[in-house]
Amino acid sequence: MKHLSEYRDEALTRQLLEQIHAVVTRPWTLMEVCGGQTHSLVKNGILKMLPEQITMVHGPGCPVCVTPIHIIDEAIALSQKPQVILCSFGDMLRVPGTKISLLEAKAGGADVRMVYSPLEAVKLAKENPDKEVVFFAVGFETTAPANALSVIQAAKQGVSNYSILASHVLVPPAMEAILADPETKVNAFLAAGHVCTIMGFNEYDPIAEKYKVPIVVTGFEPIDLLQGIYMAVKQLESGEAKVENQYIRYVQREGNLRAKEAIDEVFAVSDREWRGIGTIPHSGWEVNDDYARYDARKKFSLIAVASEDITTCIAGEIMKGKKKPFDCPHFGKGCTPEKPMGSPMVSSEGACAAYYHFSQAELLPA
């Protein structure tokens, strides 16, 4: 396919692998931040093609995985109000809350709908004026502009029966939290290409400098990932720690200014709890006071009840790069995509689901 096949080229792959083999002399641990990158690494069989000195660990960049259980409980509680139509991206439906998942709430009679875009939810609100449509706005910086736009559009069109349950998380503070952990093994990051498409990469310079880690903004196709790995390893081998951009075909240093304007219009930075990691200061967005009437938490007076994560899921360790899915005693046994015990096994971007679907025995240590 045009504009994709060149990034999935076998000859180029071999060439990049040779370059990586040639430059690496010592063991290094690289973290790919985004779950989409994890998925691509595993799906294309790249992990087994890399030199054994290079260990890839999988970062926190799976929005489904990091959404704390109490927010899922909030969404379920909302869905059970008779006047509410709860809209969500498909992946969130299967994530277990404290008692049930949204999919189980739907089976029990709640009006839960899967949508592909928040604008669809606004349309649904217009078509159902006697209902309250709530969009479960989960995601990183990547999905925030569209979610913000949905609120702006609803306001412009006078759609008052629309609101969002925001659970937005921000990547740079999470990367810093990982680096600040004294036990961290991460030597370099492949930063998430899509997030940087929106936000640019100015925010990474201070992190690279403070923690002396190379950060390479990287895309999602096999050639992108291999090139990103090569750039990061080359920096590590030569003792450098700077921010580089592999994903130049989409990412500019300043990011997408219009998208950032939409975000600034609707959201305000807040502290945010990350499932399995804990609360990270200034690591999320919530609907600001100007748009409070589109904030489902305020509209429905939801009270956040901290629910204890009672599962034995090691999501936190995995997302901090300390453990691999295979290190979990439940992987593939008690915990499978059909009956997930934790979120990394649910989402297509979750590290455990990626390992389960595409590798299983192949990646198991011998």
- Interacting residues with other proteins (CB under 8 A): 1, 4, 8-10, 13-14, 42-46, 48-49, 94, 115-116, 120, 123-124, 222-223, 336-338, 348, 356-362
Residue placing its CB nearer to other proteins in the complex, 4 or 310:
4
C-beta of 253: minimal distance to other proteins in Å? Answer: 27
Residue placing its CB nearer to other proteins in the complex, 288 or 336:
336
C-beta of 212: minimal distance to other proteins in Å? Answer: 32
Amino acid at 31: M
Give the β-pairing of 278-287 and 162-169: antiparallel
Is 121 buried (19+), middle (13-18) or exposed (0-12) by CB count in 10 A? buried
Residue placing its CB nearer to other proteins in the complex, 100 or 269:
100
CB 285 within 8 A of CB 270: yes
Residue placing its CB nearer to other proteins in the complex, 7 or 294:
7
- Closest to 113 (Cα-Cα) out of 85, 76, 146, 84: 85
- Closest to 153 (Cα-Cα) out of 118, 184, 199: 118
CA distance to 92, 318, 351, per residue, from 232 (Å)? 33, 21, 21
C-beta of 206: minimal distance to other proteins in Å? Answer: 33
Residue placing its CB nearer to other proteins in the complex, 5 or 301:
5
Residue placing its CB nearer to other proteins in the complex, 146 or 241:
146
C-beta of 164: minimal distance to other proteins in Å? Answer: 17
Residue 344 and residue 351: Cα distance in Å, rounded? Answer: 6
Residue placing its CB nearer to other proteins in the complex, 12 or 241:
12
- Closest to 66 (Cα-Cα) out of 277, 232, 244: 277
C-beta of 279: minimal distance to other proteins in Å? Answer: 30
Residue placing its CB nearer to other proteins in the complex, 35 or 284:
35
C-beta of 222: minimal distance to other proteins in Å? Answer: 5
Residue placing its CB nearer to other proteins in the complex, 45 or 278:
45
C-beta of 90: minimal distance to other proteins in Å? Answer: 9
C-beta of 237: minimal distance to other proteins in Å? Answer: 24
C-beta of 30: minimal distance to other proteins in Å? Answer: 17
